Amino acid sequence: MASTSSAVGNGSPAVKWLLRVVVIGYLFLLVAWPTAYVVRHTFDDGLTGLRTALSDPDVVHALVLTVQVSVAAVVINTLFGVGMSLLLVRHRFVGRRALSALIDLPLSVSPVVVGLALVLVYNGRFGWFGPWLEAHGLQIVFARPGMILATCFVILPLVVREVVPVLEELGDDQEQAARSLGANAWQTFWRITLPGVRWAVVYGVVLSLARALGEFGAIKVVAGNVGGETQVATVLVQQKYQNFEQQTAYSMAFLLVFAAVLCLVVVALLRPKEGHR
């Protein structure tokens, strides 16, 4: 607490308490209360709400689809994210800054726009690549590849932005030492670089997984919203809610929140094992 007070300055105790109340009140009204409300409504009738929801095949399908699309997107994004971070930090090339800026683009572009853009490029009738791909038996838009693509776009910066600062701080001393000890590029990456950034990667993965599970706009446009086929959990929540199946909507919302909290708990549990630093 001593450091907090010195950081705030020489404010009086009253100011300190006021600041705390404002911050806690803000978080309560913005995050804690609405989330708690969802949880409370889910369990209005005990477990019946969840049970009813999970007996609906559309709900189960949407949940499974959400997990499949999210996991696929997160795996792809992690591979590319780590690769791109290495490229950005360890190499100097023309257009490096432009690439770096491009990676941040998904943060500022509305996901709905992303979805529309993907539909324009990949749709089977008049898109740039769509007709060719479809002729070769690969449907992108209104199918899983498109949904994975949209999710990848949205979570693109999350792994890179976690890994880049850690790589920068790590420096390349350890990598050079490994090279001088006889390790080739792959061994150096696998034994030295990756363990050095593993926590950043874990955080990036958890963040992008949470973001992927909750993605709505881009995936709704790309997926086409066919119940039982290309409908993901978030989209189904909206539909159920609008169809006055509130109980099911709350139950699914609860499951999404639960998954997100689970992610955070897993990270919190893993973290102390990092060793005595």
Among the listed residues 61, 79, 265, the one whose alpha carbon sits nearest the alpha carbon of residue 144: 61
Alpha carbon 37 to chain centroid distance? 24
**Nearer Cβ to another protein, position 142 or 203?**
203
**Nearer Cβ to another protein, position 196 or 214?**
196
> 247-264 burial, b if ≥16 CB within 10 A, otherwise e?
bbbbbbbbbbbebbeebe
Q: How far is CA 210 from CA 59, 65, 240, 263, in A?
A: 19, 15, 22, 7
**Nearer Cβ to another protein, position 91 or 173?**
173
**Which of 64, 75, 120, 181 touches another protein by CB under 8 A?**
181
Instruction: Check binding of 270 to another protein (CB under 8 A).
Output: no
**Nearer Cβ to another protein, position 149 or 163?**
163
For the CB of residue 93, give the shortest distance to another protein in the complex, in Å: 16
Instruction: Check binding of 168 to another protein (CB under 8 A).
Output: no
**Phi–psi pair at 215, nearest 5 degrees:** -60, 140
**Which of 136, 180, 186, 273 touches another protein by CB under 8 A?**
180
For the CB of residue 161, give the shortest distance to another protein in the complex, in Å: 22
**Which of 184, 226, 246, 264 touches another protein by CB under 8 A?**
184
Instruction: Check binding of 6 to another protein (CB under 8 A).
Output: no
Instruction: Check binding of 191 to another protein (CB under 8 A).
Output: yes
- Tokens in use for 178? 């490994």
Alpha carbon 28 to chain centroid distance? 23
H helix runs in the chain, sequence order? 2-8, 13-27, 33-42, 48-55, 57-90, 96-108, 111-122, 130-135, 144-170, 173-180, 185-188, 194-214, 217-223, 233-242, 246-270
Interface with another protein by CB under 8 A: which range of 60-68, 93-101, 188-196, 253-261? 188-196
Measure the CA–CA gap between 211 and 16, rounded to whole angstroms: 34
Instruction: Check binding of 195 to another protein (CB under 8 A).
Output: yes
Interface with another protein by CB under 8 A: which range of 2-10, 79-87, 170-178, 233-241? 170-178
Measure the CA–CA gap between 215 and 86, rounded to whole angstroms: 27
Instruction: Check binding of 96 to another protein (CB under 8 A).
Output: no
Instruction: Check binding of 91 to another protein (CB under 8 A).
Output: no
What number of residues does the chain have? 277
Instruction: Check binding of 277 to another protein (CB under 8 A).
Output: yes
Binding site for another protein (CB under 8 A): 173-174, 176-184, 187, 191-192, 195-196, 198, 275-277
